[in-house]
Amino acid sequence: MFMDRRCKKVIFVAHCILNQNSISDGTAEYPAAVREVVDLLLQLSVGIVQMTCPELNCLGLDRGDTHGAERPVLVENTWIRKAMNEPASCEKLNTLADNIIYQIEEYLRYGFTILGIIGINRSPSCGVDTTSENDKEVKGEGAFIKLLREKLEKKSIKINMIGIKGLELDGSIRSLKKLLK
């Protein structure tokens, strides 16, 4: 099955890597997408699976606060992190994570290679190495990545995760190249 020209290699990426329009007001670092990441993945013939934006799905495009951009980024991210831990958001996060797990299991079932998951460091939801808490960038995972990792571990599915940062793109590209080898 699936013996056509497809590469059978995929990588799961945080939604905002392909769509900066989805992130909280005042935090976009690119007009559309993180082109360098997308270009590298396409050059290497890797299929890109865009994960759903957990914050957009749980809190809306304005993150439930039309004045969010008036605060410093880390203060806004801390507010978002708290909102993502509310019961209604946690319920939605569970559903979103289950949908990603289903896709991962489908790819694995048919012999595809999942090269990894790319998150966004400093994000209150999709941070892999760092997140925002108490108005600071701290070591740790965002709410969605943490839940996704826990669900993968329960199913004994091992997928490497890296976090990138748009403002530290050279280091991010190096980490991505290392992941893809």
Nearest C-alpha neighbor of 155 from the set 87, 97, 92: 97
pLDDT tens digits along 65-102? 888 889 899 999 999 999 999 999 999 999 999 999 99
Unique residue bearing structure tokens 């108005």: 135
59-97 burial string, b = 16+ CB within 10 Å, else e?
A: beeebebeebeebebbebbbbbbebbeeeebeebbeebb
CB 121 within 8 A of CB 164: yes
- In this prediction, residue 86 carries a pLDDT of 96
- In this prediction, residue 4 carries a pLDDT of 85
Q: Where are the domains of the chain?
A: 9-180
The size of the chain, in residues, is 181
CA distance 17 to 177: 16
3-state secondary structure of 121: coil
List the structure tokens of 180.
């893809």
Nearest C-alpha neighbor of 147 from the set 175, 119, 172, 111: 119
This prediction has a pTM of 0.94
**For residue 69, what is the DSSP state?**
G
Q: How many CB atoms lie within 10 A of CB 165?
A: 19
CB 80 within 8 A of CB 125: yes
Per-residue pLDDT of the chain (181 residues; tens, 9 = 90+): 788 888 999 999 999 999 999 998 888 888 899 999 999 999 999 999 999 999 999 999 999 888 888 989 999 999 999 999 999 999 999 999 999 999 999 999 999 999 999 999 999 999 999 999 999 999 999 999 999 999 999 999 999 999 999 778 899 999 999 999 8
